[in-house]
């Protein structure tokens, strides 16, 4: 189904390996990856694919327009089609004003937007984005996220990240990955139900807070005038006065990647 699929997991979870297999760069040890019955090794699949790797290559002395024209030529577009498509995409990724600037002068966010443009040259029905916001500042991350959200109509977008906010608000479905396997798959609100009635908030003293950290996944801690504020995950109410609150995707992520979830 079309839409945005967020592949969420810590560094080392296997996200990039999976993305590279879906892009046809790596071959799986077993099994196969298909799109409507078409294997990733087939030309028909590659013609429908757009890929932005974690570190995409570019020529620093090319301008943004030259870079897109060059790649469009490699993808078989005629000169007129390449010029038209390049201008369309520069506008789409908000780089029209920088079209004649050398890529080496671009900020990290501008380079990533150019990476999106090159991945869209063939108007793919499948767009794979591997850690696309890595290294971007918060403002650039929001810009990038909003841009991706506007591209999902009529295509499948697979976006891998270890940053919860990258997918929390734009993904139609989340796939939570750990140790090379999937823990959960579903809409954000659906997978958050895993820890429903297990997230607690309240204030306690410092000694109690230290003791709780040994047996609970502490999601947030803040020192306040009247004590230590805690947000944590656990089966039972951690202390008198703690209130059960609604769980979030970030809570679920921290729960699984804290190393303590097996004991809860």
List pLDDT tens digits, range 90-138. Answer: 999 999 999 999 999 999 889 999 999 999 999 999 999 999 988 888 8
Q: Which of 214, 241, 247 is nearest to 229 (CA)?
A: 241
Do 76 and 50 reside in the same domain of the chain? yes
Using DSSP's 3-state secondary structure scheme, residue 184 falls into strand
What's the total number of domains in the chain? 2
Do 48 and 157 reside in the same domain of the chain? yes
pLDDT of res. 231: 96
The enclosing domain of 171 has a CATH number of 3.40.50.300
Q: Which of 27, 57, 188 is nearest to 18 (CA)?
A: 27
Domain boundary among 155, 186, 217: 186
pLDDT of res. 135: 81
Do 212 and 247 reside in the same domain of the chain? yes
Give the DSSP H/E element, type plus range, for residue 17: helix 15-22
Number of residues that make up the chain: 264
Do 135 and 257 reside in the same domain of the chain? no
The larger pLDDT score, comparing residue 243 to residue 225, is at 243
Do 255 and 219 reside in the same domain of the chain? yes
Segment 17-56, tens digit of pLDDT: 999 999 999 999 999 999 999 999 999 999 999 999 988 8
Above 80 in pLDDT, residue 262?
no
* Mean predicted confidence (pLDDT) in 199-206: 95
Q: At what angle do helices 64-74 and 108-119 cross, to 10 degrees?
A: 30
Domain boundary among 127, 154, 186: 186
Do 134 and 246 reside in the same domain of the chain? no
Using DSSP's 3-state secondary structure scheme, residue 59 falls into coil
Do 18 and 103 reside in the same domain of the chain? yes
Domain boundary among 137, 158, 186: 186
pLDDT of res. 263: 42
Strand ranges (DSSP E) for the chain? 3-8, 34-35, 38-39, 49-52, 126-130, 156-161, 173-178, 181-186, 199-204, 217-224, 227-233, 243-244
Do 179 and 204 reside in the same domain of the chain? no
Tell me how far apart the alpha carbons of residues 32 and 116 are, in angstroms, rounded to a whole number. Answer: 27
Domain of 232 in residue numbering reads as 193-263
Above 80 in pLDDT, residue 261?
no
Tell me how far apart the alpha carbons of residues 144 and 62 are, in angstroms, rounded to a whole number. Answer: 22
End-to-end CA distance of the chain: 35
Do 223 and 132 reside in the same domain of the chain? no
pLDDT of res. 136: 85
Do 253 and 174 reside in the same domain of the chain? no
Q: Which residues pair with 63 in a beta bridge?
A: 102
Do 86 and 118 reside in the same domain of the chain? yes
pLDDT of res. 133: 87
Do 181 and 235 reside in the same domain of the chain? no
Q: How crowded is the C-beta side of 215, counted as CA atoms within 13 Å?
A: 10
* Mean predicted confidence (pLDDT) in 181-202: 94
């Amino acid at each position: 189904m079309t839409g945005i699929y967020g592949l969420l997991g810590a560094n080392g979870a296997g996200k990039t390996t999976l993305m590279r297999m879906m892009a046809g760069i790596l071959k799986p040890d077993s099994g196969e990856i298909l799109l409507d019955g078409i294997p990733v090794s087939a030309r028909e699949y590659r013609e429908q694919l757009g890929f932005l790797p974690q570190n995409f290559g570019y020529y620093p002395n090319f301008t943004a327009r030259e870079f897109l024209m060059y790649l469009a030529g490699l993808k078989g577009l005629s000169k007129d089609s390449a010029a038209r498509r390049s201008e369309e995409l520069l506008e789409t990724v908000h780089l029209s004003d920088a079209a004649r600037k050398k890529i080496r002068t671009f900020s990290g966010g501008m380079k990533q937007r150019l990476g999106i443009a090159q991945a869209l040259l063939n108007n793919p029905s499948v767009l794979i984005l591997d850690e696309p916001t890595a290294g971007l500042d918060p403002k650039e991350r929001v810009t990038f996220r909003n841009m991706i959200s506007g591209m999902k109509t009529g295509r499948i977008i697979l976006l891998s990240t270890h940053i919860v906010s990258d997918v929390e608000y734009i993904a139609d479905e989340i796939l939570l990955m750990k140790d090379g396997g999937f823990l959960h798959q579903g809409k954000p609100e659906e997978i958050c139900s895993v820890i429903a009635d297990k997230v607690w908030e309240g204030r306690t003293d410092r000694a109690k807070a230290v003791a709780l950290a040994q047996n609970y996944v502490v999601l947030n801690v803040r020192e306040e005038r009247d004590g230590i504020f805690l947000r944590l995950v656990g089966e039972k109410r951690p202390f008198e006065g703690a209130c059960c609150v609604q769980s979030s995707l970030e809570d679920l992520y921290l729960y699984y990647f804290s190393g303590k979830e097996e004991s809860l």
